[in-house]
Amino acid sequence: MSASLSPRFSAALLLLALLTCGTLSACAGGDTATATAPATADQNTDPTPNDTVPPAGDGNGNGNQDDPSTTTVDDPEPDPPPAPGDSPPPAKSCREQFDPELAVTGADCAPTYGQFCPESTGGLSNSEIPTACDGVRIDHATASAGNLSAGYWIATPESGEIRSTYLALHWAGANGASMIDRMRLAELAKGRGARVIAPDAPGTLGTWDVTDLNLLAPRTVDEHVALLDAILADVGVRDEPLIVAGISGGAAFAFQYACDRAEWISGLLIVAADLQDEDLRDCALGGHMATLQIHGTGDYITPYDPVTFVSAGVENVFARLMQNNGCAAAERRSVVLPNPTDTLITELELVWYATGCQSDAGSARLKLGNGGHNWPGYSGTLSDSQNIFGVTSRDFDATLQAYDLLLKLMPST
């Protein structure tokens, strides 16, 4: 993905100047905590997303483990099938598992916070270690590809049941530990059975942008793609769904990675994505995936509407992703979600295509009226509704609810 140097360079300098501590999207830091290391589940199979990625690791990031002291146990026995005559389990409510179709009926879909793990309460600086959460194992490892290397954190549910792998790319000036803390990804691991992988961007400036702010040591898109390939191979991703998520510059590279590795990816979540016209031109999607965009109309870092050399425009990106999935315009569904908490958010409009898509993969877009450049439902010191990056929503959760929505948009889920 090529980049227009001047606009992104200026925006990145503005962000780093506003928060010299290295945080973006008003996501405050968490206290350093000592991570526990309970037993891990044995993963006997290790297929990789693509034959071009060498298989490595034991499925828990131990291929190049910084702390290899782990214990292996057998996979837990699956739950027995229900006996004849047993009633089926009750359906989940919209609060327990977000469903846009239930939202249309007026069901209570308000997000819940801190239900599985406590929210981060730390200061402004980046986390060194993700905040520990009972029921979630935290590991750290490193991976290399060519001339690049990076550390990455893994948050794995202690239950041993991995329902999906969630690759999370942080914003400029941050790191993987902060991504887990501020975006409450340990809660995602515990509450949804997702294995979360949060790598640090290579280099000293903490950005996934291959040109801006890396003028002394320029990197290429292919090098970054190869690095993420190596991390996934090191962890040992199996046949579970792979979701790639990111915010701001991390969202832009999540989009690029999805363009290059579409055949591996089941879902794409991009929040406040820094995308330009040439990013759309350079993207050659070779497969279909469920997609969700979240963007505020009050985002002054990456404008919602098209701006030449600055922003491709959210609706243009949405149209590209929707068309890639072969979604028919007649199948458009929409709902305006309640926002009683966010008095400065004027509207939460969700549009989605879950049926009528030739690929069976759907696409969705959430527009936050007056929303700023941030992750709805983030955790931290600056968690007031108004902050230096604009208004933040707490009436939609880009962590648990966005994950649930992506599952709804995936084929056969």
User: How would you write the pLDDT of the chain (413 residues) with one tens digit per residue?
Assistant: 333 333 454 454 444 434 433 334 333 333 333 333 333 333 333 333 344 443 345 555 554 544 433 333 344 454 544 444 455 555 689 999 999 999 999 999 999 999 999 888 767 789 999 998 999 999 999 999 998 999 999 999 999 889 999 999 999 989 999 999 999 999 999 999 999 999 999 887 788 986 655 555 567 888 999 999 999 999 998 889 999 999 999 999 999 999 999 999 999 999 999 899 989 999 988 889 999 999 999 999 999 999 988 899 999 999 999 999 999 888 999 999 999 998 899 999 999 998 888 999 999 999 999 999 999 998 876 655 567 789 999 999 999 999 999 999 998 75
Q: Give the C-alpha separation, 54 to 119, whole Å.
A: 37
What DSSP designation does 198 have? E
Q: Give the Cβ contact number of residue 285 at 10 Å.
A: 18
170, 206 contact by CB (below 8 A): yes
Torsion, Cα of 282, 206, 191, 260 (10° steps)? 20
> Could you say which DSSP state residue 96 is in?
T
How far apart CA 179 and CA 195 sit, in angstroms, is 14
Per DSSP bridges, beta strands 164-169 and 194-199 are: parallel
User: Which stretch of DSSP H or E encloses residue 151?
Assistant: strand 148-157
- Can you tell me whether residue 353 is helix, strand or coil? strand
Give domain limits for the chain.
5-31+94-409
Give the helix, strand, coil percentages of the chain, each rounded to 5: 25, 20, 55
Q: Which pLDDT score is estimated for 1?
A: 38
Going by their DSSP bridges, the two strands 267-271 and 290-296 should be labelled as parallel
Provide the whole-model pTM: 0.81
**What is the structure's pLDDT at 89?**
54
Question: What whole-number distance in Å separates Cα of residue 14 and Cα of residue 212?
Answer: 12
- Please give the single-letter amino acid code of residue 67: D
pLDDT of residue 90: 58
Element (H, E) at 67: none
Distance CA 221, CA 284 (A): 14
The CATH code belonging to domain 5-31+94-409 is: 3.40.50.1820
CA distances from 212 to 3, 208, 338 (A): 8, 9, 39
Both tokens of 192, joined, read 């949804």
Q: How far apart are alpha carbons 348 and 366 in whole angstroms? A: 7
Structure-block tokens of residue 79: 């739950």
Residue 42's pLDDT is 37
Task: Provide the pLDDT for residue 91.
Answer: 65
